[in-house]
Every structure is written in structure tokens, then in C-alpha cells.
């Protein structure tokens, strides 16, 4: 932690600024605050893993397939534990969603826009499986039935567009524990500290 704090100081970024501006991540870059929705039962892997997100309101209080989005927090270890009152509904053979909006001041998806663009990554893990979407595009599917390893997967680089981006994670539960953890890292610590996070896209209703 001391090393991370010094990195922020070297970039001229105060820890208080990071804490206030990035309330959705902690000083280690771990996602600790997001919207969650669930749970949704499934009977087979085809129902559990899909290429497209369901239609609905991806915002606090919004409805998704009859369930409401609400704020959820990770534990002190940076882990979202869905069996710890994060969602309502079945606890086995079910899935839930986690979502956040991220505002980038640079078009990380346009590698020709400028030289030396920051390289942002999102490292994550789940118990059991998971899927990852960015701005409605499916980036990864991990069908598994194993304990949580927070460093199991990495979306590197995470190509945010200029402005607001929606990150959605589906976490699939078969049996046993049901958890998710995610962490952001960047080649430019100052850029990471300036990312803005929100529960919904400001100025409009997120779909």
C-alpha cells in the first residue's frame, strides 16, 4: 500500500482526491462499489451464458427481467459476496449482474488518436463462471466451476472510448460460494486517478 500511495504522490495526485473522485474503487484499484441485480435462475449452460445482455434499465432502481438494480459493496477484501445479502432469489444455479459506468478523458480504443495512450487493464475472477461486456460488446466468457481467484482473468487492454463507458459483468453460480472480484490498473497512475465512475450515465437513463 505504501508503494501505491507514493506512486500517487509522485503523480501529484492527493489520496483524498482519489478517494472522493473514485468512490467506486479503492486505493489498490479494486472495484468495491457498484450496482448489482439478481438473482436469475437457469436450468442449463445455454441459459446461463449468453452473447447478449437482456433488455432493461441499467440504473439504480431500474428493472431488469423483473429484478431491481441496487447498490452493492464489496467486503474489506475487495470481494463481492452474492450470498451475503447482495441479491434476492435462488442461491444455486443462478446468475447476477454487476455494472458501473466509467468516464475516460482519452479515447483508449483509438490507438491512432495520439501517441503513448495509457494502457488500462481490468483483472478479475469469479466463483463460479462469468462474462464481461463493455458498451454492449461481449469481451469474454469464462465457463467454470471453481473457487475464486481474483487474478484469474485479465482484459488487457480495456479499450474505453472517449466519454462514458458501461462495464457489465455477469457472475454465474452453480453451487457453493458465489463471489466476484475486479481490479483496475494502468500504465499511467495519474490517468487512473482521473477516471470517473457512476451508477448510471449522467444526464440520461442507461439502457
Distance CA 19, CA 45 (A): 39
DSSP annotation of 45 reads H
Measuring CA to CA, which residue among 137, 147, 171 is closest to residue 31? 171
Query: What does R_g of the chain's alpha carbons equal in angstroms?
Result: 17
Binned at pLDDT 50, 70 and 90, residue 111 comes out as: confident
List, in order of start, the domains of the chain with CATH numbers: 2-198 (2.60.120)
Q: What is the pLDDT of residue 30?
A: 95
Q: What is the pLDDT of residue 12?
A: 55
Averaged pLDDT score across all residues of the chain: 89
> pLDDT tens digits for 151-190?
999 999 999 999 999 999 999 999 999 999 999 999 998 8
C-beta separation of 27 from 34 below 8 A: no
Provide the whole-model pTM.
Answer: 0.88
Residue 38 exposed, middle or buried by CB count within 10 Å (0-12, 13-18, 19+): buried
Q: CB neighbours of 199 closer than 8 A, spacing ≥ 6?
A: 34, 35, 59, 60, 71, 100, 101
Q: What is the pLDDT of residue 13?
A: 53
Binned at pLDDT 50, 70 and 90, residue 80 comes out as: very high
> pLDDT tens digits for 37-72?
999 999 998 899 999 999 998 999 999 989 999 999
Which of 81-90, 96-105, 186-195 shows the lowest mean pLDDT across its residues?
186-195
Q: What is the pLDDT of residue 67?
A: 95
Q: What is the pLDDT of residue 116?
A: 87
Q: What is the pLDDT of residue 118?
A: 95
Q: Which residue has the higher pLDDT, 12 or 89?
A: 89
Distance CA 67, CA 24 (A): 22
Amino acid at each position: 500500500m505504501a508503494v501505491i500511495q507514493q506512486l500517487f504522490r509522485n503523480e501529484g495526485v492527493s489520496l483524498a482526491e482519489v478517494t472522493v473522485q473514485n468512490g467506486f474503487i479503492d486505493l489498490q484499484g479494486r472495484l468495491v462499489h457498484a450496482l448489482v441485480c439478481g438473482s436469475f435462475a437457469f436450468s442449463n449452460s445455454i441459459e446461463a451464458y449468453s452473447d447478449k445482455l437482456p433488455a432493461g434499465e441499467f440504473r439504480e432502481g431500474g428493472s431488469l427481467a423483473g429484478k431491481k438494480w441496487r447498490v452493492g459493496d464489496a467486503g474489506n477484501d475487495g470481494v463481492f459476496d452474492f450470498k451475503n445479502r447482495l441479491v434476492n432469489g435462488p442461491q444455486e444455479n443462478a446468475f447476477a449482474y454487476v455494472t458501473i459506468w466509467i468516464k475516460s478523458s482519452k479515447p483508449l480504443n483509438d490507438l491512432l488518436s495520439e501517441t503513448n495512450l495509457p494502457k488500462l487493464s481490468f483483472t478479475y475472477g469469479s466463483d463460479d463462471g462469468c462474462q464481461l461486456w463493455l458498451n454492449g460488446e461481449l469481451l469474454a466468457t469464462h465457463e467454470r466451476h471453481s473457487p475464486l481467484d481474483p487474478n484469474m482473468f485479465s482484459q488487457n487492454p480495456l479499450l474505453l472510448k472517449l466519454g462514458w463507458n458501461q462495464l457489465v459483468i455477469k457472475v454465474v453460480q452453480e453451487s457453493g460460494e458465489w463471489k466476484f472480484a475486479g481490479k483496475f490498473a494502468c500504465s499511467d497512475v495519474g490517468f487512473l486517478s482521473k477516471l470517473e465512475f457512476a451508477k448510471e450515465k449522467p444526464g440520461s437513463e442507461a439502457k
